[in-house]
Each structure stands twice: as C-alpha cells, then as structure tokens.
Amino acid sequence: MRGIVVCAQEVPVPIWKSQGLLEEPEIEISRWRVFETETGERHFVGVRAAEGTGRVSSSIIEFDILSRTGVTASGRRYVLVGEPGTDDEADYVWGLWARVNGVILARDVTYKLLV
C-alpha cells in the first residue's frame, strides 16, 4: 500500500534525548513530512535545518498551514523550511522512534495537511 510505513523492525540503537523546551523552544526542519500513527497522532519528521540530523516531534497539537509552523504536545514550536521531502537520516530516526514508542503502522499524511 502506498503511504503506509510498517515500523516493526528490531532496533537496538538508542535515540538521542532532546534538549529541554527552555533550551530549545523552536526547531526548524527541512525535507519534512508528517506521519500519522494508528492511534491518530501526527508527528513532524524531517532534518534539523541547522545540524542536518534526523528529527521526530512529539504529537502535533496545532498547525498553521500559511506560516508552516506547528506546536507539539511538548510545547515546542516547529518551523517547516522549504517544501516537503524525504531524507534517509529522517527516515532512519523515524524508524527508531516508532519502534521505541510502539508504533506498528503509520502513514504519510503530508499532502492531506497541505490541501
């Protein structure tokens, strides 16, 4: 099926812990997408524009399509830079994050948000 991502692989590698909200209240990500899990939660997945490292957000609670900014459950603000896209590093981090957080299935809903 197109758009479905199965996240059940074995992943022995840990994910880096994020800095706290006070130290990092806003993050810019490029080559971004939005994934929706089987529970209905949506997450930003992309590459940190400044560092080039993969990033997965906590669940999205607000999204402004015009400014391409969103706020997540952690209270962090994400700024989506450029157009949506794919990135191997982001996909790798999403796979790790999904495994650690018990995600079984997810689908790419990026274009649903943009229309």
Domain membership of residue 3 (yes or no) is no
Number of structural domains (the chain) is 1
At 71-95, the pLDDT tens digits run 999 999 999 999 999 999 999 999 9
Which range of residues forms the domain containing residue 105? 23-114
Residue of 92, 101, 97 lying closest to 52 (CA atoms): 92
**Is residue 71 one of the residues assigned to a domain?**
yes
Note whether residue 59 is domain-resident: yes
pLDDT of 82: 95
Q: Is residue 7 part of a domain?
A: no
Per-residue pLDDT tens digits for 60-69: 999 999 999 9
How many alpha carbons lie under 13 Å from residue 26 in its C-beta half-sphere? Answer: 7
- Within-domain flag for 9: no
Supply the pTM of this predicted model: 0.84
